[in-house]
């Protein structure tokens, strides 16, 4: 079998071609092939220049992540990059698609870089909890400049080829056939000496202001909170500015190995593969094909309906959006336009893109307009009777083969499907608010949902740039079922002696974007409230009766100033203590560890039940749900990965310590007990 690297001559230029689908990851065979190709170029006196290019969708997309965690194989990537840079003949990188991570480091080892206009160049290592470990932190600032390098290595966001050309990372932008242009460029530079080695270029680092680094740290402190890799990347670039390359790469390697062997990178690499696995449907019948979705109908132009519609409009899919009244229809479409305009104001969209998206929208009061939609999504009030009425009605209007989807966040999809004549065409599409921003969609499959309907929903989820995860039917599916555990225990801990701010602090210190009570204040304390102020059975009822419904009323569990900054409320503390007294609960000192055990360990136990009931296809799907739906810190890998890191036996011990306090609702997952006893893990 020929290796992934081949060579061919074009005049006096040796073309080195990688063919390692799907993304030309720098596997051991690719690395060896590159070293051999450079040796071939050196040995052939007729070769006066080299072009390195890739077949398929992209230039090298980085080190082969599937090799991580295994014993590293020679030649190591730094060795390959050095071999390219030390070639006595000019080497030109021909970049298309994405040059990412080690792929960009290969390009930086080349003496020149030619890119087609669609190319992207990036250092996404930080998203894996790493840093460019093959000289990238030392070469990139020397070629692209220090500030650009800092932005790239700490964000992981690729830059476009034009941006690359502007900062000096790309030497020539080309249109059309990339390789012939790269060969022509190689012929132009074949006699240039000395060769421009990235590692020897000092100009851009000498002009760097040392204060840049601390300013950059301060400006990004919030974004980097809790992560190890961003600071390590900054440190490595800072070293490049004060140390000769040969010493800098030694420091870079030390920093890289610290990250590679650390818990955070293992968690983030787990999520990289978990996100891709989540998109697969286990045991899908052979030859199942997705249905064509050319037009989508959305019922309800409220916050969710409008946000849902925007996802399709942004993907160029026409949307018919239906409301009951002109005023609510106009309000909904107005909010959609304003959301797009806000993105345009931030430079994320052009004015034309806003108009194009809005042109795909057909707002109407006429339900019958849904007749030509291939998929209809209801986003109406979260009430079973209302949803059943809507599904009965749309079932009579929608064309044969149209898929009917509910955006319900916890109701029984089977019950909804049963009122239609087409239960096999019914599926749940649980978007997370704000629906145009949050990446997660729980794709809920009912007992009758047809395989091609499920596949259509998953395929469409990816098409609108979401992260779809299959969920079975139960109260709250995957995410909200576990959230309910957490919220119930958080509320009980208030009665027993903890304060909202203590419980929230434990969760924020853990890495969550906010704690249970901050989250309720943001979403609205009155979500799911029975709306009868005379009926006060819980702390939440009391707050709603007092018009303390969260940030939207300037007060909830916290008081808020006009900039929505929260402060603890003595009034709420009094309400809590009154409830403790009313329920005969003796308040006591609550430790942070108890809060972790009763809110986070119980979530893991619920996740194990979700797994053993088949509601989630795999443990890593639960991690994806919590990372993309609720902001679980990526450097902890998700609840199930984190449970493995804690040790399942430790989780069980903690729950046993709390078992009395968790009663009567709590019961152990048999799967969790069994795996803990065997020393198994969910995700390793």
User: Which residues of this chain interact with ligand T1G, rule CB under 6 A?
Assistant: 22-23, 25, 58, 61-66, 77, 98, 100-102, 105, 124-125, 128, 130, 132-134, 136, 276
Minimum separation from the CB atom of position 475 to ligand T1G (A): 31
Minimum separation from the CB atom of position 252 to ligand T1G (A): 10
- Is residue 278 within 8 Å of residue 621, measured between CB atoms? yes
Minimum separation from the CB atom of position 119 to ligand T1G (A): 12
Identify which of residues 105 and 323 has a Cβ nearer to ligand T1G in the complex.
105
- Please tell me what DSSP assigns to residue 555: B
Count H helices and E strands in the chain, helices first. 30, 19
Identify which of residues 90 and 103 has a Cβ nearer to ligand T1G in the complex.
103
Identify which of residues 128 and 544 has a Cβ nearer to ligand T1G in the complex.
128
- Is residue 173 within 8 Å of residue 182, measured between CB atoms? no
Is beta strand 49-54 parallel, antiparallel or unpaired with respect to 13-18? parallel
Identify which of residues 41 and 107 has a Cβ nearer to ligand T1G in the complex.
107
CA distances from 192 to 16, 93, 140, 185, 197 (A): 20, 16, 22, 12, 12
- Is residue 490 within 8 Å of residue 517, measured between CB atoms? yes
The b-or-e profile of 390-409 (16+ CB within 10 A means b, else e) is bbeebbebbeeebbbbbbbb
Identify which of residues 128 and 519 has a Cβ nearer to ligand T1G in the complex.
128
- Please tell me what DSSP assigns to residue 28: H
Q: Which residue has the tokens 């698609």?
A: 97
Minimum separation from the CB atom of position 124 to ligand T1G (A): 4
Max CA separation in the chain (angstroms): 93
Cis upstream peptide for 255 (omega within 30°): no
Identify which of residues 65 and 536 has a Cβ nearer to ligand T1G in the complex.
65
Is beta strand 361-364 parallel, antiparallel or unpaired with respect to 403-406? unpaired
Identify which of residues 79 and 414 has a Cβ nearer to ligand T1G in the complex.
79
Dist CA 616 CA 472 (whole Å): 7
Could you give the 3-state DSSP secondary structure of residue 539?
helix
At what angle are helices 602-612 and 479-496 packed, to 10 degrees? 150
- Is residue 440 within 8 Å of residue 432, measured between CB atoms? yes
Smallest CA-to-CA distance from 105 within 73, 76, 68, 146 is with: 76
Please say if 231 is a catalytic residue. Answer: no
Catalytic residue among 82, 85, 125, 252: 125
Identify which of residues 123 and 480 has a Cβ nearer to ligand T1G in the complex.
123
Catalytic residue among 40, 42, 82, 105: 105
Minimum separation from the CB atom of position 364 to ligand T1G (A): 35
Minimum separation from the CB atom of position 195 to ligand T1G (A): 23
DSSP string, 110-128: SSEEEEETT-EEE-GGGGG
Minimum separation from the CB atom of position 669 to ligand T1G (A): 29
List the structure tokens of 434: 């704000």
- Is residue 111 within 8 Å of residue 91, measured between CB atoms? yes
Minimum separation from the CB atom of position 263 to ligand T1G (A): 17
Is beta strand 361-364 parallel, antiparallel or unpaired with respect to 172-174? unpaired
List the structure tokens of 146: 């220090």
- Is residue 193 within 8 Å of residue 150, measured between CB atoms? no
CA distances from 563 to 118, 221, 288, 566 (A): 42, 21, 52, 9
Dist CA 351 CA 341 (whole Å): 8
Please say if 105 is a catalytic residue. Answer: yes
Phi, psi of 426 (to 5 degrees): -100, 135
Identify which of residues 133 and 500 has a Cβ nearer to ligand T1G in the complex.
133
Identify which of residues 18 and 420 has a Cβ nearer to ligand T1G in the complex.
18
- Is residue 303 within 8 Å of residue 433, measured between CB atoms? yes
Minimum separation from the CB atom of position 486 to ligand T1G (A): 31
Q: How many CB atoms lie within 10 A of CB 385?
A: 8
DSSP string, 447-508: TT--HHHHHHHHHHHHHTT-EEEEE-SSTTTTHHHHHHHHHHHHHHHHHHT--HHHHHHHHH
Minimum separation from the CB atom of position 259 to ligand T1G (A): 9
- Total count of residues recorded for the chain: 684
- Is residue 139 within 8 Å of residue 197, measured between CB atoms? no
Identify which of residues 54 and 61 has a Cβ nearer to ligand T1G in the complex.
61
List the structure tokens of 571: 């009034």
Minimum separation from the CB atom of position 104 to ligand T1G (A): 8
State the catalytic residues.
105, 125
């Amino acid at each position: 079998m020929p290796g992934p690297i081949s060579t061919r001559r074009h005049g006096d230029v040796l073309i080195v071609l990688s063919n390692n689908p799907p993304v030309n990851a720098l596997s051991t065979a690719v690395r060896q092939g590159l070293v051999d190709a450079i040796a071939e170029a050196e040995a052939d006196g007729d070769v006066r220049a080299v072009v390195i290019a890739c077949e398929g969708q992209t230039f090298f997309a980085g080190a082969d992540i599937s090799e991580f965690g295994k014993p590293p194989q020679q030649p190591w990537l730094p060795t390959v990059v050095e071999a390219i840079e030390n070639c006595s003949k000019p080497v030109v990188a021909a970049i298309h698609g994405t040059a990412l991570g080690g792929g960009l480091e290969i390009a930086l080892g080349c003496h020149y870089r030619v890119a087609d206009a669609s190319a992207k160049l990036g250092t996404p290592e930080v998203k894996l909890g790493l840093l460019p470990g093959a000289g990238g932190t030392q070469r990139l600032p020397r070629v692209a400049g220090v500030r650009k390098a800092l932005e790239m290595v700490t964000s992981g966001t690729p830059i476009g080829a034009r941006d690359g050309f502007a900062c000096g990372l790309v030497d020539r932008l080309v249109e059309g056939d990339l390789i012939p242009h790269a060969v022509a460029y190689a012929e132009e530079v074949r006699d240039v000496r000395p060769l421009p080695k990235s590692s020897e270029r000092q100009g851009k680092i000498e002009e760097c202001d040392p204060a840049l680094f601390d300013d950059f740290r301060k400006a990004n402190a919030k974004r980097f909170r809790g992560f190890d890799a961003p600071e390590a990347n900054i440190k490595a670039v800072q070293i490049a500015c004060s140390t000769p390359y040969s010493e800098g790469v030694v420091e870079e390697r030390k920093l890289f190995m610290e990250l590679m062997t650390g818990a955070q990178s293992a968690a983030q690499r787990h999520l990289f593969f978990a996100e891709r696995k989540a998109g697969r449907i286990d045991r899908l019948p052979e030859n199942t094909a997705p249905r064509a979705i050319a037009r989508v109908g959305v019922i309800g132009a409220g916050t969710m309906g409008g946000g849902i519609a925007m996802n399709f409009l942004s993907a160029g899919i026409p949307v018919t959006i239906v409301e009951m009244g002109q005023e609510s229809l106009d309000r909904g479409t107005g909010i959609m336009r304003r959301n797009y305009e806000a993105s345009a104001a931030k430079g994320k969209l052009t004015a034309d893109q806003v108009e194009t998206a809005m042109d795909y929208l057909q707002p109407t009061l006429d339900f019958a307009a849904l007749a030509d939609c291939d998929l209809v999504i209801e986003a109406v009030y979260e009430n079973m009777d209302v949803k059943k009425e809507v599904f009965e009605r749309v079932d009579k209007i929608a064309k044969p083969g149209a898929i009917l989807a509910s955006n319900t966040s916890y109701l029984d999809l089977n019950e909804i499907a049963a009122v239609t004549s087409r239960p096999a065409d019914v599926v749940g599409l649980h978007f997370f608010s704000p629906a145009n921003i949050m990446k997660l969609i729980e794709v809920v499959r009912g007992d009758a949902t047809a395989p091609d309907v499920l596949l259509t929903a998953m395929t469409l989820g990816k098409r609108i740039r979401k992260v779809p995860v299959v969920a079975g039917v139960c109260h709250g599916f995957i995410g909200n079922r576990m959230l309910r555990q957490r919220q119930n225990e958080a509320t009980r801990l208030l009665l027993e002696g903890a304060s909202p701010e203590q419980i929230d602090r434990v969760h924020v210190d853990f890495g969550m974007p906010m704690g249970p009570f901050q989250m309720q204040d943001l979403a609205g304390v009155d979500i799911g409230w029975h709306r009868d102020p005379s009926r006060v059975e819980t702390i939440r009822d009391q707050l709603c009766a007092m018009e303390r419904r969260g940030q939207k009323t300037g007060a909830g569990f916290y008081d808020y100033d006009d900039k929505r900054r929260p402060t603890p409320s003595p009034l709420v503390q009094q309400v809590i203590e009154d409830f403790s007294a009313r329920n005969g609960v003796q308040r006591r000192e609550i430790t942070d560890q108890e809060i972790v055990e009763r809110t986070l360990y119980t979530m893991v136990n619920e996740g194990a039940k979700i797994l053993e009931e088949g509601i989630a296809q795999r443990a890593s799907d639960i991690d994806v749900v919590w990372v993309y739906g609720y902001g679980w810190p990526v450097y902890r890998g998700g609840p199930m990965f984190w449970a493995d890191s804690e040790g399942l036996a430790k989780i069980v011990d903690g729950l046993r310590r709390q078992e009395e306090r968790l009663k009567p609702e709590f019961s152990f997952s048999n799967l969790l007990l069994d795996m803990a006893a065997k020393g198994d893990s969910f995700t390793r």
